[in-house]
Structure 1
């Protein structure tokens, strides 16, 4: 089969197309999926560059990619709820027990796979697993966001932010978001009540008494966000770890999120997509052969929504 692999850590130049890679061998608790589409996340280029090598050193050659949408080819022992021919989506990263999704076939843990939303294409479904679950886990499981509450979502035009805005609106919250000026109309269309140009406006001076902040940016943005929260509020960050001195000073709770893609969360997302409460925005598609370019575009192009590889055309 064809796959996009790396044999060493580095930039986009280390991504090579292997046209003769062996098909993954089915194992207990896993599904073998014919991949129709796979999306690109920031973690993919970070894996390529070796950011994760202390935590999880790769065995080379290593197939990149996590998010996928496709069709079940084989069902492993101990797997319930799936059969051959089912359209599924999920997460198959080599960091989470999968074989990598930038390939014609991928091995995926059944616990991080669910039935694909019925109302979407494989390209749209592939754009959803990691970003969608990140938004769901933060807003529903960590924050417990409810109707009438106010939330600030940083990076509203990105993959996670664009889903988070829609989930927050579905839950009945008032949503403010920070974006670049060119993305203000886009996030308003997604449902944001207030859009702040982060380059020319100071969100920390404009917003006060908020129940929650969801941070996908980190750094100074994270530090300034504490000023926005009311006492008893909560901030969840994708990039920063909680700082006890800030929590004590502002009287708030802080959580550093490590996203866990589960069948249950994927199924909840699929329901929202099928109800048309969430629409997936794909910024650009690439072929599998263009995986290196797709990673480069994700890293440097500031995509609006998601970048997707169309693998089966």
Structure 2
């Protein structure tokens, strides 16, 4: 099978398109024929060797933390999925940039029926991150207000839609070029961070979701009401600031969860959430896709098309 493989850590240029043996699922796994795989900032981080120290990833490695495809084989202990099921999901250790991948049953769920495979591959990691932050950690309620930084990005675009689906008011930040997208996604207030300080607009919010860190995180503590929460995807909120202001802080680390993916799929099929796919590239252009992901300034999502969409 074809796969994009790295035999050493480094820049995207270390990736090579190779022929490797097809994996076989163990008793707890399913074999998925991959139709499309999303591109994430996590991919260049894995490639740099950062996750080798933190999570034990090892060489050679295949990037790809988001997949959509078709189940080709199931392990003996698999109970919820069957051969032929269209699925989407988040393999914990990547591996999606290949013709086939083996995944645990709890890493994937049945694909939203209203999306094609390329669209579905743009969902899992960003939507799971937003869901686990807003729903599981912040427990966002109808009528509450949330400030979402980077609202046009892979996580932010889903966070806006999930917050709106839960009846919350949304203030979102993005650059000038992406103000239209914030409104399209449903933000009540769109802030152009190149022209306006978000703290001049957002005051006494119930929650902040921060995928940026550094100065943005430091300035966010002051806009949260007492008892509210600041959540960061890239840093641990400052305990001194949290204590001083009487708020809560959480570092968000996404994990695969088939039940969460199932709930997200229901919202997608109900028309409440849609992925924003801005570019579709063939597997042979994985290096260009990695380079784009590393900038952290992609609008919406870049997806690698690995095989043709199956005929219905």
Tell me if TM exceeds 0.5.
yes
1:44 is matched with 43
Mapping of 1:215-294 within 5 angstroms? Answer: 215-294=210-289
Aligned length: 308
Q: Does 1:9 align with 2:9?
A: yes
Q: Does 1:195 align with 2:195?
A: no
Mapping of 1:146-157 within 5 angstroms? Answer: 146-157=141-152
Partner SS, residue 54 of structure 1:
helix
- Mapped to 1, the partners of 2:211 and 2:266 lie a distance apart of 24
Query: Structure 1 residues 288, 169: closer, same or farther in 2, change over 3 A?
Result: same
Question: Cα deviations across residues 95-141 of structure 1 (Å, max 9, x unaligned)?
Answer: 6xxxx000000011111110000000000101111100101111111
- Mapped to 2, the partners of 1:57 and 1:230 lie a distance apart of 39
- Mapped to 2, the partners of 1:152 and 1:233 lie a distance apart of 11
Partner SS, residue 112 of structure 2:
coil
1:123 is matched with 118
- Mapped to 2, the partners of 1:57 and 1:80 lie a distance apart of 29
2:167 is matched with 172
- Scaled by the length of structure 2, the TM-score of the pair is 0.96
| RMSD of Structure 2 on Structure 1 (CA) | 1.1
2:307 is matched with 312
Q: Higher mean Cα deviation, 191-200 or 267-276?
A: 191-200
Q: Pick from 199, 202, 207: which aligns with 2:202?
A: 207
Task: Give 1:93 deviation, angstroms.
Answer: 4.1
- Scaled by the length of structure 1, the TM-score of the pair is 0.96
1:26 is matched with 25
Task: Give 1:300 deviation, angstroms.
Answer: 2.4
Q: Does 1:110 align with 2:105?
A: yes
Q: Higher mean Cα deviation, 174-183 or 203-212?
A: 203-212
Task: Give 1:191 deviation, angstroms.
Answer: 0.3
- Mapped to 2, the partners of 1:280 and 1:55 lie a distance apart of 29
2:53 is matched with 54
C-alpha contact 2:211 2:234 (8 A) present in aligned 1: yes
Mapping of 1:67-86 within 5 angstroms? Answer: 67-86=66-85
- Mapped to 1, the partners of 2:23 and 2:92 lie a distance apart of 13
